[in-house]
Structure formats: structure tokens, C-alpha cells
Structure 1
Amino acid sequence: MKIAVVAMGKIGLPLAVQFADADPAHEVVGVDVDAATVEAINAGREPFSGEAHLADKLAALVPAGRLRATTDYADAIPGADAVVVVVPLFVDEATGAPDFGWMDAATASLAPHLTPGTLVSYETTLPVGTTRERWKPMIEELSGLRESAEGGFHLVFSPERVLTGRVFADLRRYPKLVGGLSEAGTARAVAFYESVLTFDEREDLPRPNGVWDLGSAEAAEMAKLAETTYRDVNIGLANQFARFADTVGIDVHKVIEACNSQPYSHIHQPGIAVGGHCIPVYPRLYLSTDADATVVRTAREANAAMPEYAVARAEALLGSLEGLRVVVLGASYRGKVKETAFSGIFATVEALRARGAHVLVHDPMYSATELAAFGWEPYAWAAGEPGDPVDVAIVQADHPEYAQLAASDLPGLRVLLDGRRVTDATRFTGVPRLTIGGGEQPAS
């Protein structure tokens, strides 16, 4: 097959590599608007770090002629048996409304070059109804082809269900969901994904994986939104429990561990923020088509308020943060990932500055220059090398480096607020250490 993958980002590139790796006879072409990304791929180099096995696979597949990249849709799309679209969908932070700008542009660029009979699969998470109501008419108008008609094209939605850093493992482990606009299109998609994905048949998996036909594009769209929104709602509940626990001096983590010892309880962990491309975003996509989802809206609001709560918790112990030096540890939205999408760093810094604090930011994955580009004052610290004096430290991301942090690394420290519960309490003897839901200091 000739397979085109549109957008060579942290999901699209590993997908393209997976498809090329599945069969030596496949011709896989990645499309991206960024020339530097295309150049790196064609040189057999990974354009970003942190994805397990990606570098080795690129180094083998590209020289063998099984994978290449281009910025030209007219090169990649014609003659393709399948076109897989993984272009980012953005959300307006103020309104929560989806911004289809990049996806519209990509769809408008690929549609005129479609060959009759091509399967088009969107993997980007979408509001329910988008595949049928937005992409189908757009592609039909620009391609001159009819969806599901003789000599036309087939259109399906098949959501990506992987985490960056472990994409290849997740592709093996989780069922691939498919929802089409026609039986013929769905059958084509099922056959395609069965041919390019290798599934894990271990007996310890809860259910057989493979390709699952959900019956419609809308059902597949909702499945992706529901599984991620569930996580946001669950974390919102955990955060509510944590805030109450702090008022009465209870360690909510022990409570959650006890609850989850019973098989019908699956409470997640509380924390300073919910960040990333998925968990804080997809509930908003769901709300864009279900305005009556009050549980979803309330949970999203509760989680968005956690950075402010964390800062207020530290402030309550000191009385005021005015003029104090406060270092925020971790700019990334989660540990070991160099990415700030919807990270709690932004709201945390804003809450501190609003209180008159002198804010510094540290992250082991970012250089001082990179941190400064965000408008933050970098804080220099490395294991075994104490940093400059600070009054307060707030752990925002659970980078493993912070598990080794000690009070001696932060001279003058008066309060540690560990928003991820990653630090070792024994390393902070004599310094108040607060956590989210630890109950160490009842709120006043």
C-alpha cells in the first residue's frame, strides 16, 4: 500500500513509522508544513526527543526507502490507498470552543489530490458529529468525489489512544476503535488497521484487543471523548476530596488507597494541575456539543482552580507572599515530558505574581534560555549544587529529579508545597512540607 500520514508530530510520526515497519512493501509518506521537521525525518533523525524506539526505527526505515516526508500534498496524497490525518485541533482557552484552523487547512490541502477509492481516516480527537458534518462535505466539495459512492472515497474516524513517550507499546496494547460513515468504509478501515498494527495477544489483558467497529463515526468520536473526560471528572472528584481532607487534617491519599482496595472504586490522584493536550482539552470538546453536561463542566472548573488553591495553601502558612522569592519546580505538564500544553505552570505563576511574589521557574528539561522565552526568570539548580536562596518552593511537575530534592538544595526555604507528592518528606526535616490533600496544614 501507499499510505500518507498528515502531520509529523508526536503522534503522527510514530504512526507513520509503525505503518512503514509493518510491511516492507508499504510506501509511507509523511506530510508536514514544517520544513525542518521534514528535513530531519528524511535524514533519518527524530525531530523531537522522548519517544521510545523512534530514533532506532527512523534510522532503519528511512535509508531503506520505506518512509519519507514532504511538505507537498501533491506528492504525498495522489495514489494513496489510505490517508491518516493527525493534525492538531486547538481549543480557545477563554471560550472552550474548538479551533479547526489547522485541520481545515490540512483537509483543504489534501482533498483536491485524492484518488478514487482512497480511505481517509481522521485520528485527531473531535467533537461528536465532526467527521460526518464537517469533513465529509468539505472533502466532497474540494475533491469532486462522493463519500461511499462508486469511484468515490471512504471516510472514517479512528481516534488515537496513545501517550507520547510510549506510542509503539500503546498501539500494541489497546484496541483500535473505528467508526465509519458506511459499511464499506468501515470494512476498509478495519482491514487497513489490522494490516498495519500488531496487537498484543497476552492472556493477562482484560479483553482481546484488535480493531473494534463501533458502528458509526459518531460513536467512535464519543468513545474517545468519554474515556478522557472520565479521567478529568475522576481527578476533579479526587481534588474535591483532597481540599476537604486539608480542612480536617486527613491524608486523602491513604483514604483513596483504602477505597481502591475494593474493586468497584477507581479514584484517581489529586494534584496541583491537570495539563496536556488531552485531559483538560477533550472535556471542552465534549461540552461544545453537550452543553447540559453539568458534571463535566463542574469537574473542569474544579481542576482549573487547583493552581490557585495550591498557592493559597502555601500563602496561608506564611500569611503573605508579597516580596518573597518563590521557585516553581517544573514547567512541563507532567514529568519526563518536555511540553507545556495547558500546563499548570501558567496559572501557578499568575497566582504567585498576583500576590506580589518574586517568581522563578526551574525545569530540568528546559534550558535557561527556553524558560526565559516564556517570560519566566530561570532558577539554576542541579543535584548536588544548591541553588540561590528562596522562601517558597512549589513542585508543579513530577520530574524524577525532584524526588532527590532536599531542603539543603534550596537555601532559606521556609515552605515546600509539593503539588505532585513526589518529594521525600525525610529530606525536608524542619521545613513545613505541604501536599494536596495531605492534611498537613488545615486551611484557614
Structure 2
Amino acid sequence: MHVAVVALGKIGLPLAVEYAVNGHSVVGADVDARVVDLVAAGRAPWQEEAHLAERLADVVAAGRLRATTDTAAAVAASEAVVVVVPLVVDAHARPDFTAMDAATRAVAAGLRPGTLVVYETTLPVGATRDRLVPLLEAGSGLRAGEDLFVAFSPERVLTGRVFADLRRYPKLVGGVDAASTARAVAFYEQVLRFDPRPDLPRPNGVWDLGAAEAAELAKLAETTYRDVNIALANQFALYAQSLGIDFPAVAEACNSQPYSHLHRAGIAVGGHCIPVYPQLYLAGDPGADVVRTARAANARMPAAAVALLAQELAAAGREPAGARVLVLGAAYRGGVKETAFSGVFPLVAELRARGALALVSDPLYSAAELAALGLEPHDGGGVDAVVVQADHAAYAELSAADVPGAVVLLDGRDVTDPARWAGVRRVVLGRGSTGSRAAAPA
């Protein structure tokens, strides 16, 4: 097949490569000329995605993948178009369709009769049918269900392991009409390869959900579930901490029963997905109090962590005001060079509000890159306290000797080795010392 992938970001580019690896002719379109030039040369714009560099080089060399800044031309040469343009939220947590609308108009300008357009970007329920289809029709003169076929199929992958996840998880599909659904199902059956999954209620592969709205809700439901579950785990963890109870041990015990699936507590919830998609759900269901409360609870976690740090500093005879605090990890999660909604930003803001000097270090970022993000890079000098914000694997090897002067370590991800922190007040979020009672974080 001839396929166009619109937006060559951390999901779109691996998708384009996967289609090309499976034998199809792919053109990737992006508004960023730098990205297009790198892809056209067979060079990965980033290195954190497993297998991307070598697979991209192979399919470009074989002539199965090319790149362009001309979206309309890419669409005009294709039978199927997959749109992966990010949808963000504004300062008021409302969906901002600026980039998506512009991309949709560019797609419409190149549409030919019979083309399939699939949106993989997570959207509010109803957006495919009610917002994007009218833009496609107005810009192309085609009509959905007659000579234009439109569907929604959410991406269900994590950056760093996109190729593995494409094979591991079923592809959910729903069209704006029966013909569009059938076209989309047939498309994904051709361009993807699936691993066997004996644990699934039916064979792995493409799952027909019937309507675009069902597929849109499926993505919002599975990601919002994670946000709500994490908020509950965080609530339990803070309470357990105040009682001196080890919550991870409690959660492990609870999860030994099949009806409990408590997630891990953590210092922050970051990334493009979990902090954003509940807001997209709320855009369609504003009365969902459980979702709104969970999102707010997770957003408060960095402040709760700093309150706990202040408590531990006070116990060590120090105050936050004037303290040098090293925050480990600018990335929102370990091993991924991405700061979207990273907990580092509210952590630093809260530390500064308490008069502390917040210094940041991350093995994936240079000092110049950290400074460009508005963060103050660690100058290598001694510190009073350390906060682990991201679960980079390297932090398991870190020790008190690496941060001279530190009297408190607040491990917000439970990744450090306690044996390496002798002589330092090591506190793990949610992992209280059984038998002792501490004051609840403010």
C-alpha cells in the first residue's frame, strides 16, 4: 500500500518505519524541516527509541520511506493517511485543536476519492465525527461514507518501546460509518504484525469497536483509569507514610488477590498522556467528579513531596530556606529524554517558593539543555538534600559519596539502594518505617 503518516514525532516516525518494514511504501509529512531532512537522510532525530535508528536507515535505503514538508502532496500520493499530530491542552486544561485543525486542512487539500484517513491522536469523544470530518469534507469536496473514509484508532504504545508495543497490543478501530470501519480494519491488518497473546479473550490483532466514538472512549478510559488509580495509590501512600507503614508492601499484598490492581505511588505524573487525557475526557463529560478529583490529587504530589522533605530537613536541624536541594531527573520518566509535564517543574517551583536553591541533574540532558528549560543545572558542589524525581536506572548506583553534604534523600520513585546511603536520612515516598509514627505531610 501507499501510506502517508502526518507528523513524524516520537510516535508517528516509528509508525511510518513499521509500515515500511512490513513492505509498504510510506511518505512521512511534518512541518519541521529539520526532522524531515534527518528522516530523508535515514537518520533518527532522537536515539531513545529502541531499534529506530537501524530500521529507519534500512527502509530509507530501500526506498520504502521518504519524508516531506508538503502534507497535501504526501496525501495525494497515498491510499491511506494516518494522522498523529499532537493534541494539547491550554492553560485552562481545554483541548487546543490549533495544530490538529491545520493538519486536517492540509490533509483535505490532498485527498483523492476513495482515500482512508485514520486519526491516531487521542481525541475527546466525538471529535473525529463532529469536528474533523467536516474539515476534511469542506477542504476536499468529498463526502464521508461515499468517496471518503474516516476512522479513529488510538495509539497504545510507549516511547522507547513503540515497535514492541505495536505487536503486543490489539489495534482498536472505529469508523464514522460501517464502510470506513471496514476499510480501517483491512488497512491495519495489512500494515501491522501482531504477536500471539494467549491471555486475551480473543486473538491478538485488529479489534473492531464499530464506531469512532467507541474507539475514542476506549483510549480515554484506559489512560484515565491509570490517572485515577495512581491518585488512589498516592493517597494511600501519603496516609501510610504518616502512620509509618510501608505502602508498597501493603499494595503487593493487596494485589495478590485478582480483584485488586493498585498502581505504584510516585512523586509526579508526567508525560504527554496521563496528565492530559483525563482533561480530554472531562471536555466531553465535565460532571465526572472522580476524574477531576484524581487529576487534582496527582497535580498536588510534588507539593506534598516538598512538604515531606521540609519535615525531614527540620528533623535534621535544617530549613528549606537557603538549602541547596539537588533534584535528580528532568525527564518525566526514566530512560526517556522528554520533559512534557515532568514533575521537575512543579518540584522546582515549590522548592523555590520555600526559599531553597533548586539544582537539577539528569544523565540525558546537558547543562545547557537544562538551562534552556528554565532549570538551574547542578554545579557539582555540595548540597543539603537530594530529591529523586525520575527513575533513571543510573540512580540505583548513586551513593551518599556522590552528593557530599546531603543530610536527607527523598526518593520519590523508590529506585535508590539504601545500602549506599548510610548516614543520610533516606525517605521513600510511601515507604514508612513500620512501627514508627510520623506527622502527616502538610
Band of TM-score, shorter chain: over 0.9
Q: 2: distance between equivalents of 1:218 and 1:301?
A: 26
1:311 and 2:306 correspond: yes
Q: Secondary structure at the match of 1:347?
A: helix
From 272, 284, 302, the equivalent of 1:289 is 284
Q: Match of 2:100, as an amino acid? A: M
Which residue is equivalent to 1:268? 263
CA offsets 1:265-292 (integer angstroms, 9 cap, x no match): 1000001000000011100100111011
1:424 and 2:417 correspond: yes
From 183, 186, 189, the equivalent of 2:184 is 189
CA offsets 1:353-389 (integer angstroms, 9 cap, x no match): 0000011000000001001112222115xxxxxx421
Q: How does 1:135-154 map to 2 (within 5 A)?
A: 135-149=132-146, 152-154=147-149
Which residue is equivalent to 1:173? 168
1:302 and 2:300 correspond: no
Q: Secondary structure at the match of 1:288?
A: helix
Which residue is equivalent to 1:383? none
Q: Secondary structure at the match of 1:132?
A: helix
CA offsets 1:24-64 (integer angstroms, 9 cap, x no match): xx321000001111111111110111111111111111011
Task: Please report the TM-score for the alignment, with normalisation by the length of structure 1.
Answer: 0.96
Which residue is equivalent to 2:41? 43
How many residues end up aligned between the 2 structures? 433
Q: Is the 8 A contact 1:313 1:443 kept in 2?
A: no
Following TM superposition, by how much is the alpha carbon of 1:439 offset from its aligned partner in structure 2, in angstroms? 1.7
Following TM superposition, by how much is the alpha carbon of 1:207 offset from its aligned partner in structure 2, in angstroms? 4.4
Q: Where does structure 1 lack aligned partners over 5 or more consecutive residues?
A: 381-386
Q: 2: distance between equivalents of 1:340 and 1:358?
A: 20
Q: Match of 1:119, as an amino acid? A: L
1:9 and 2:9 correspond: yes
1:160 and 2:155 correspond: yes
Deviates more, 1:413-422 or 1:427-436: 427-436
Following TM superposition, by how much is the alpha carbon of 1:328 offset from its aligned partner in structure 2, in angstroms? 0.4
Following TM superposition, by how much is the alpha carbon of 1:204 offset from its aligned partner in structure 2, in angstroms? 5.3
Which residue is equivalent to 2:62? 64
- Runs of 4+ aligned residues of structure 1 deviating over 3 Å after TM superposition are 202-207
From 366, 376, 383, the equivalent of 1:390 is 383
Q: Is the 8 A contact 1:17 1:67 kept in 2?
A: yes
Q: 2: distance between equivalents of 1:42 and 1:159?
A: 26
Q: Is the 8 A contact 2:86 2:100 kept in 1?
A: yes
Q: 1: distance between equivalents of 2:66 and 2:170?
A: 27
Q: Secondary structure at the match of 1:77?
A: helix
Following TM superposition, by how much is the alpha carbon of 1:206 offset from its aligned partner in structure 2, in angstroms? 6.1
Q: Secondary structure at the match of 1:112?
A: helix
Q: Is the 8 A contact 2:168 2:197 kept in 1?
A: no
Q: How does 1:208-287 map to 2 (within 5 A)?
A: 208-287=203-282
1:434 and 2:427 correspond: yes
Q: 2: distance between equivalents of 1:156 and 1:79?
A: 19
Following TM superposition, by how much is the alpha carbon of 1:430 offset from its aligned partner in structure 2, in angstroms? 1.5
Q: 2: distance between equivalents of 1:360 and 1:253?
A: 29
Q: 1: distance between equivalents of 2:417 and 2:266?
A: 16
Which residue is equivalent to 1:345? 344
Q: 2: distance between equivalents of 1:443 and 1:284?
A: 33
Deviates more, 1:199-208 or 1:153-162: 199-208
Following TM superposition, by how much is the alpha carbon of 1:214 offset from its aligned partner in structure 2, in angstroms? 0.5
Q: Where does structure 2 lack aligned partners over 5 or more consecutive residues?
A: none
Q: 2: distance between equivalents of 1:299 and 1:48?
A: 33
Which residue is equivalent to 2:439? 443
Task: Please report the TM-score for the alignment, with normalisation by the length of structure 2.
Answer: 0.96
Q: Is the 8 A contact 2:197 2:204 kept in 1?
A: no
